[in-house]
Structure 1
């Protein structure tokens, strides 16, 4: 069943079957909790051996799209693909409350958590340096954390802040910030007035691959967000990566 694609590449039968089933799951043709066709049915449909079907199912299992249940077969997981609404997390949390991302996902009935991975001064990527108008060797503060839903990693977040704002403040502390960095910035006199998102798809970096427990050959959704305050001053730059097959972004205009 392996076919040559327009670009000359060849997809194995296993990859084609996994891609077909993945597309139907993501598009809602198979609902959460629904059973996929049996091995025998898929053998007849795709004209391949049982081992090839099993390999395709193993791929979808590693992607967290399906699970195998004794006596039931292969079932589409509840977290088929989640819709995230970035505008819901734009503004800082009210004083004393949790980071907005945690609150919004807890409203969905999900266990949302953040785990801090790193806090420290780094030479940021060129795109971040451009936002803050930093020289090639000028540092910024980096706060890196991984966010999880129901115990599974869903987003790697890198928050960059200018040292002229962050130095000597809670932003330098090596622990999670209640309400998030936006809450601290507002308390310091830098309210969030607008955000600019640039969204792209890319293959994961080694850090993203490890933190998100990504299977191979699948892209991440990368959001580069700049937060602006008074006088349109950029006060924060974020690089956020989500597994592209598990999440979609919704923007309302």
Structure 2
């Protein structure tokens, strides 16, 4: 019989994990005052020093906020669930990219800042998804999305080079209506997409650009968008800070 897998993390980290879960699932509501150290000591059967360490971890991760002379509170902003299906269809003529209009519906200010646009040899998994030959290139468009001036997502989108040369996909400026609208105008409407979601530690770029606190992981979405005849027209590597966002999916069951 193999030995049982036990949690060997320091107790303060285990307590922080329990509280973090309650914050993320909404059991501890935004703005709630955290129980006293005495109450937490009794709940977790540990010392005041350990409770202080656990709370400091969560403060560093921006889950808790201390108010001098008042107490410690759950952050005012709850984790936000974003639904990728809301952004698949191209924007209506003359309208911004759907990611921006959906932000407006939630009474948030959305904006993008471009980081890089250019022809590159993409990562192996991207090249496979785009069905490129060995050494083949793609057009890369990298950008950061902000919600209420906070970095919300780091996006690296790759396009088949034959679709991207000589049009706005190769332009450093933002695309009116977003790439789905442009691709649809070019005769390549989005018909379906595959998403693979994972959680992992942040890279240095993600840590800095997304302002990741402490060791909070990122959510990584690997997305392939297909047009007619299952032609891949876009592959996107998208990362989001996991302490602020959840991914939401709705599936019809016949």
User: TM-score of the superposition, structure 2-length normalised?
Assistant: 0.89
SS at match of 1:10: coil
C-alpha displacement at 1:121, in angstroms?
A: 1.5
2:151 aligned with 1:153: yes
Give the whole-Å Cα distance in 2 for the aligned partners of 1:50 and 1:221: 33
Residues 25-64 of structure 1 aligned to structure 2 (within 5 Å): 25-64=23-62
Provide the residue aligned with 2:238 in structure 1: 240
Distance 2:108 2:90 in 1: 21
Secondary structure, counterpart of 1:11 in structure 2: coil
**Structure 2: which 5+ residue stretches go unaligned?**
none
Match of 1:182?
180
The 1:128/1:107 distance shift into structure 2, 3 A limit, reads same
Query: How many equivalent pairs are there?
Result: 249
> What corresponds to 1:102 in structure 2?
100
Q: Which runs of 5+ in 1 are unaligned?
A: none
Partner of residue 11 from structure 1, selected from 9, 12, 16? 9
Native 8 Å contact 1:124 1:140 kept in 2: yes
Partner of 1:212: 210
Q: What SS does structure 1 have at the residue aligned with 2:157?
A: strand
The TM-score with structure 1 as length reference comes to 0.89
Find the aligned partners of 2:153 and 2:239 in 1 and give their Cα distance.
6
CA contact (8 A) 1:65 1:79 kept: no
Question: Any residues of structure 2 matched to 1:74-223 within 5 Å, and which?
Answer: 74-223=72-221
Structure 1 pair 56–115 and aligned structure 2 pair: CA distance change class (3 A): farther
d(CA) in 2 for partners of 1:149, 1:180:
17
What SS is found at the alignment partner of 2:35? coil
Report how far residue 18 of structure 1 moved: 1.2
The Cα shift of 1:92 comes to 1.4
- Alpha-carbon shift at residue 208 of structure 1 (Å): 1.9
CA distance in 2: counterparts of 1:179 and 1:201, whole angstroms:
30
Is the 1:202–1:221 Cα contact (8 Å) retained in structure 2? yes
Seen in structure 2, the aligned counterparts of structure 1 residues 70 and 127 have a Cα distance that, compared at 3 Å, is: same
Instruction: Flag the 1:174–1:6 CA change in 2: closer, same or farther, 3 A.
Output: farther
CA RMSD in angstroms, aligned pairs only: 2.1
How far off its partner does 1:143 sit?
0.8
